[in-house]
Structure 1
């Protein structure tokens, strides 16, 4: 998940997109692990609030796809480094284990040897589903790049069409676990997004390019259509699938919008450096119920006046986002210092 200093300076637009995507993830989780877990949204919210809720989630449901597209966009032109794969494992393990042990120390959970080792090896045990799938995708990236490099534009386009038909049509309408798309949670879909990102890297756009503001308009318009469809049909689970055709269109449009932005900001790059930790903190298995239940966030939201309930939900998302970023900065700084010392020691040991 780490980027070189050169890319950070050059691509502040994508670093901003990572930050926004992480905030989208927090919004999704306050719905999935918070409100959606304790109340029936369609019964609790009515009229404008219900549509507004669906609209906010529709805007945010593209977060995972955006992360994969951004990663694929750069990985397709970068050299695979085993050190980065090991570093990802160590960073995730450090964050997960520290958060777990802190929760044990403050009495939120009882110490359990099995849970401790699951935290320590969370990349392999699936403690963070996204990291597990991303880890495998990164391991396969050098082989994917060789495949992509040996395809011409027509072959690459035909592969994308095949992926669309399989992942976003067939597996959206009639999903089957054997195919491995898993509503967009599976490795197959990540690899498809990787191939799509590589196509954008090489050829800029699919079929036809548009003005960046038109891309932004299409993103909001399709999100509005998606929210209305959910409101009218009640097909929330299906239309919020990561491999939904509408979700893919929204992700593509917002990605293209940010690709066309020209931003150079050391502040954005600095903030982005610790944004991945927000996910590692608030999605840690022992931390999730603490944030959404023990702190009383959901109880406060659902007890709010109907006209303000969605705004309060967004407000809490901002609080969780900023709070977790601060914790990520602290843990990340400690991890970086330790990682640097261990790397220096190992390098000295190997040379001796």
Structure 2
């Protein structure tokens, strides 16, 4: 499962390489479109699917576990550390101007509840004990009926019918959690059949890619915004984004891998990778515009190599930073808290 977490985060970084860098506008403004444009769009297809994978992992393991104060403090401390530290660094080097709004956004972790992944994930994390109470009290058929109702409302209708379902990530994370818990608590034989799961995964991935390519072609011909090419995977609640996440998780969950210390250490820093490279708008502008210069690489012959190297290096550098943070800050901090904490659910 650790390898799955690593691949999930690489998929999210790849998504941000395309979507957060201005490449979509660059592609859209071309008078003629090449194979390169379609490949770049495919590189960015899996961000929301990756978010589903991340939350599905949480649901799978936490539906039979308990949230402790220590776990939440650990999560919150990581979020606060990166948000405040990166903000201060950008201020110190003149890359960002101080405003009351920017300061509050950096310090207060729940500022972007409407759209921010981290704010929603923290609040969702606090809901897990109550979601577990709900799950434990539901009968199997009641649990299934609840999932059917939720997915019809938040996935099937928004995917296939032109209707707007207003929700934020807290709602959706809770739904994914309930789905993951059902599959964990009431396992089906086909879920442990690697052949069936692999075929389902390939079908969902291929359909996702086909949808991106076909819709991109239509957008190019009709002049519509190129971001519409991601319609079937544009948000976490879209059907293909959900199915791909479920099947990919089941496949990796069925694969029995030997313990590998290096993989485990890297996997433990995946959330840190997310926090670092998406910490703020200033970070996105600096990282993708100044450091990587994605738009500058777009019209070069090495555009594909640039994409691969940037995605890999961002993941590796952010991982290295987080490993240092864990070793020198988090571990001593938690040891200190263990000595002074006298909380019931510590």
TM-score, with structure 1 as normaliser: 0.83
1:238 aligned residue: 231
Rounded to whole Å, the distance in 2 between the matches of 1:283 and 1:277 is 10
Match of 1:332 in 2: 326
User: Matches of 2:250 and 2:142 in 1, distance apart?
Assistant: 22
In the alignment, does 2:269 pair up with 1:281? no
Q: Which structure 2 segments of 5+ residues have no match?
A: 217-227
Distance 1:168 1:338 in 2: 43
Match in the other structure for 2:241: 247
Matched, 1:120 2:115: no
Cα displacement (A) at 1:202: 0.7
Contact 2:45–2:212 under 8 Å retained in 1: no
Structure 1 residue 53 and structure 2 residue 40: aligned?
Answer: yes
| 1:41 shift after superposition | 4.5
Indicate the SS of the match to 2:314. Answer: helix
Q: Is the 8 A contact 1:51 1:228 kept in 2?
A: no
Which stretches of structure 1, 4 residues or more, deviate above 6 A after TM superposition? none
| Paired position in structure 2 for 1:186 | 169
The answer to which of 334-343 and 318-327 deviates more is 334-343
**Residue 145 of structure 1: aligned partner:** 132
The match for 1:40 among 24, 27, 49 is 27
Deviation at 1:296, TM superposition (A): 4.3
Deviation by residue 1:97-129 (Cα, 9 ceiling, x = unmatched): 111112222232234454233212234445981
Which residue, out of 206, 211, 215, partners 2:193?
211
SS of residue matched to 2:184: helix
Pairs within 5 Å for 1:66-215: 66-126=53-113, 129-172=116-159, 173-176=161-164, 178=166, 180=167, 185-205=168-188, 208-209=190-191, 211-215=193-197
Structure 2 distance, partners of 1:335, 1:278, is 16
Give the alignment partner of residue 286 of structure 2, picking from 245, 265, 290. 290
Partner of 1:323: 317
Q: 2:337 aligns with which of 326, 329, 343?
A: 343
Superposed displacement of residue 345, structure 1: 6.3
Aligned partner of 2:219 in structure 1 is none
Unaligned runs of 5+ in 1: 1-13
Cα offset, 1:342, TM superposition: 4.6
Equivalent residue number for residue 262 of structure 2? 267
CA shift in 2, pair 1:199/1:74, >3 Å:
same
Write out per-residue CA displacement over residues 51-96 of structure 1, whole angstroms, 9 at most, x where no aligned residue: 4334333355410000010001111111121332233222201111
Specify which of 21, 24, 34 is matched with residue 8 of structure 2. Answer: 21
Alpha-carbon distance in structure 1 between the residues aligned to 2:267 and 2:32: 34
TM-score norm. by structure 2 comes to 0.85
Instruction: Look up the SS of the partner of 2:255 in the other structure.
Output: coil
Secondary structure at 1:209 match in 2:
helix
Q: In 1, Cα distance between the equivalents of 2:45 and 2:127?
A: 30
In 1, Cα distance between the equivalents of 2:314 and 2:55?
23
C-alpha distance after superposition, 1:277-324 (max 9, x if no partner): 11111111132111011124213421222xx53343122111111111
Asked if the contact 1:42–1:50 (Cα under 8 Å) also holds between the matched residues in 2, the reply is no
CA root-mean-square deviation: 2.6
